[in-house]
Amino acid sequence: MAVGSITAEGHEILLARNGEEALAQVKKLAPDVILLDVMMPDISGFDVCKTLKIDDRWRHIPIILVTALPGRDDMMRGFEAGADDFLSKPFDNIELCARVRSMLRIKNQYDLLEKQRRDAETVLHLREELARVTTHRLEELEILHQVGLNLMNSLDASYMMELISRTTFKLISGAAYCVVYFLSDDEERLVPTFFSRENGTQPILPNLDSEEIIQQAIDIKETVYIPDLPADLDFTHLDLGETRAVLVIPLIVDNRAMGALSIDSLEADAFETGDRRVLSILATQLAVSIMKARLFAELGGVRV
């Protein structure tokens, strides 16, 4: 087959000596156009064409059957096998190049449509994901709004902390433990109240060596997030049991830290940015509500 004129137009030519090699080349290289001789030693061009056209991976590749066989029946057999065009021998270079250019235009149109289809699917997926995230965030906001209202209407510190813990476990799937720490009156020690996803409120904090992290968040008045405790060289000396990730948010009102909200997870990298934002809102709600309850109690002569 004369290929000089095709290469002269800038096309790269790959040759296969028989049908088996042609199928292997297609699967390996996915060409843009296939010139397929009908008469081949092992598998006929008709069968190669049919094999490619019934496979969704390759059916979009235009195939030009090249044959010396005359007659309408052979042409019909070729088209029934899925051929896109038919070129009879002998042919001249002008005709060959014209057929190849025509098939390349078809292939380019297919590639463009396929890209547009993939882009449309991506946009649809993004829209669906955006709708899902938006719905989830709206649900979060509604829950946070309701929690805020409940906290405003309560002066019971125990109820407030339990409400915050329940909300944490509801909104943050990776949270295993929720601990609320308050500084003692002399601000010399931390007084914890421990909540577990599995067991609810527990009056005594387990023997976990976490006060160093809590105190750090209180001192700097900023959130401390340790996504993987065993891998963090600054905290390898701590005994935190099965805890892998820790998120500590200081409870601050009027630039004064009164304690911290600590969330532990048994999985590394458990808290995403959205989770940390939600927990920050909960911590702020709790801090303001506790401060209000304390102020009210002090004015009434009762200590919260």
Place 204 in a pLDDT band, splitting at 50, 70 and 90: very low
Q: What is the mean pLDDT of the chain?
A: 81
CATH superfamily membership of 4-116: Response regulator (3.40.50.2300)
pLDDT of residue 69: 65
Task: Specify whether the CB–CB gap between 203 and 179 falls below 8 A.
Answer: no
Residue-wise pLDDT for 54-64, tens only, equals: 988 888 888 88
Dihedral class, residue 172 (left if φ above 0, else alpha if ψ from -120 to 50, else beta): beta
List the one residue out of 259, 257, 239, 240 whose CA is nearest residue 177.
240
DSSP secondary structure of 70-134: -SHHHHHHHHHTT-SEEEESS--HHHHHHHHHHHHHHHHHHHHHHHHHHHHHHHHHHHHHHHHHH
Residue 24: CB partners within 8 Å, gap ≥ 6?
A: 16
Q: Write down the CATH number for the domain with range 154-300.
A: 3.30.450.40
**Tens of pLDDT along 215-249?**
889 889 999 999 998 888 777 777 777 888 999 99
Check whether 286 has a pLDDT greater than 80: yes
What confidence score (pLDDT) does residue 249 get? Answer: 92
Min mean pLDDT across 114-118, 175-179, 267-271 is at: 114-118
Q: For the chain, what are the domain ranges?
A: 4-116, 154-300
